[in-house]
Amino acid sequence: MTGSFIDRRNNFDFLRLFFASLVIISHSFPLAGCKEFFEIFTNNQISLGEFSVDCFFIMSGYLIFQSLERSKTLASYLWKRVLRLYPALFVLLVITLCIIPIVYQGNNIFQESSYWTYLPNGISLYRIQYEITGVFETNPYKKAINGSLWSLSYEFTLYILLMFLFPFRTNKKCTRILLTIAFIIAFFLLQFRPFFLNRFFGYIMLSSTLMYKLSVFFFAGSILSLFDLKKYNTLVTRVIIAFSLVLSVIFSCYNIVSPILLPLLVLMLAKIHTAPLHIIEKKFGDISYGVYIYGFFVQQILMNYFNLSPLILMIISLIITYILAYNSWHLIEKRSLKYKNLF
């Protein structure tokens, strides 16, 4: 939506929280030593975690492009993005370093070089460190401290790529063309040349395949922010799209169909106003980012001490993570966003 008025009557916050919760549900299976049911159901085409991250990037593309449109300067745009990602991430990493000595299984955690590199590598986004020697080495899913952080570097990279559209942001026709070209290139490379420039992306610790896949969903979301979906956004349309996605799974062509249909479905669901869902936002705030970045670490701590089934791990970790995310939002993220207009 362009212009100065932003309609807050939508389901974006609820859907972000829903998909963040699905990531925790998805991780509950491999972290408990089992295979996720959704992967089995879709014949290994997609996991709940993958699906949720794809949906995150669709909504991110939609909302971040709107932020670019509203930003008066590139510095203002970039500052908002940094402010949304970094304060909560920094606190998470510090809390992680405070807890790690408790779960450490070795002689002296403070003599482990990997302990001291964890914070700077995490803050860099592009050198996320997933292991510290002597930590979680006996868990069913060994060594990994926080596997959810991998997507942050891809998201930040797409924020940067979107900056190239800043000079054209007020020209709707031009931005539609440029975003469509970006979408087509990413889609083509994903389908036919997924390892193109893989060595180049490797220099910044990214995978070409993941970069193309997430770019497709991100650019699709950005493109759809330039169109009014309201007149097409009916229950019948949403059911038809959802049914088509289910059929694409059955006929093993989900990875081809989803970049086109999934963004439409997610954004149509996000744009409608479901009043009861807003009670969650009013009671808890926007806790989705906190849920996403804390969930994996909470689950690994639980599995370090208890032999939990996926279901029990899922329930307990969701409760604990929601509490942590609530505090992250109200004590860190919300307060940090007061400075979003500093530039």
DSSP per position, 189-216: HHHH-TTTTHHHHHTTT--HHHHHHHHH
Q: What is the rounded distance in angstroms from the CA atom of residue 338 to the CA atom of residue 335? A: 6
Q: Is the pLDDT of residue 3 over 60?
A: no
- Decide if 334 is inside a domain: yes
Q: What is the rounded distance in angstroms from the CA atom of residue 40 to the CA atom of residue 103? A: 33
Structure token digits, residue 310: 């996926």
User: pLDDT at position 275, please?
Assistant: 75
User: pLDDT at position 8, please?
Assistant: 60
Q: What is the rounded distance in angstroms from the CA atom of residue 252 to the CA atom of residue 247? A: 8
| C-beta neighbour count of 309 within 10 angstroms | 13
Tens of pLDDT along 274-323? 877 777 777 888 999 999 999 999 999 999 999 999 999 999 999 999 99
Handedness of CA 205, 207, 212, 216 (dihedral sign): negative
- Decide if 1 is inside a domain: no
Q: What percent of the chain has pLDDT over 70?
A: 98
User: pLDDT at position 174, please?
Assistant: 94
- Specify the pTM: 0.94
The larger pLDDT score, comparing residue 139 to residue 4, is at 139
Average pLDDT over residues 93-120: 96
User: pLDDT at position 7, please?
Assistant: 53
Tens of pLDDT along 171-215? 999 999 999 999 999 999 999 999 999 999 999 999 999 999 999
- Decide if 4 is inside a domain: no
- Decide if 6 is inside a domain: no
Judge whether 317 and 24 are in contact, CB under 8 Å: yes
- Counted domains in the chain: 1
- Decide if 141 is inside a domain: yes
The larger pLDDT score, comparing residue 281 to residue 138, is at 138
- Decide if 7 is inside a domain: no
Average pLDDT, the chain: 93
- Decide if 329 is inside a domain: yes
- Decide if 171 is inside a domain: yes
Judge whether 104 and 137 are in contact, CB under 8 Å: no
Average pLDDT over residues 118-136: 96
CA distances from 24 to 53, 58, 73, 281 (A): 12, 19, 37, 19
Q: What is the rounded distance in angstroms from the CA atom of residue 100 to the CA atom of residue 119? A: 12
Range(s) of the domain holding residue 113 = 12-339
Three-class secondary structure of residue 157 per DSSP: helix
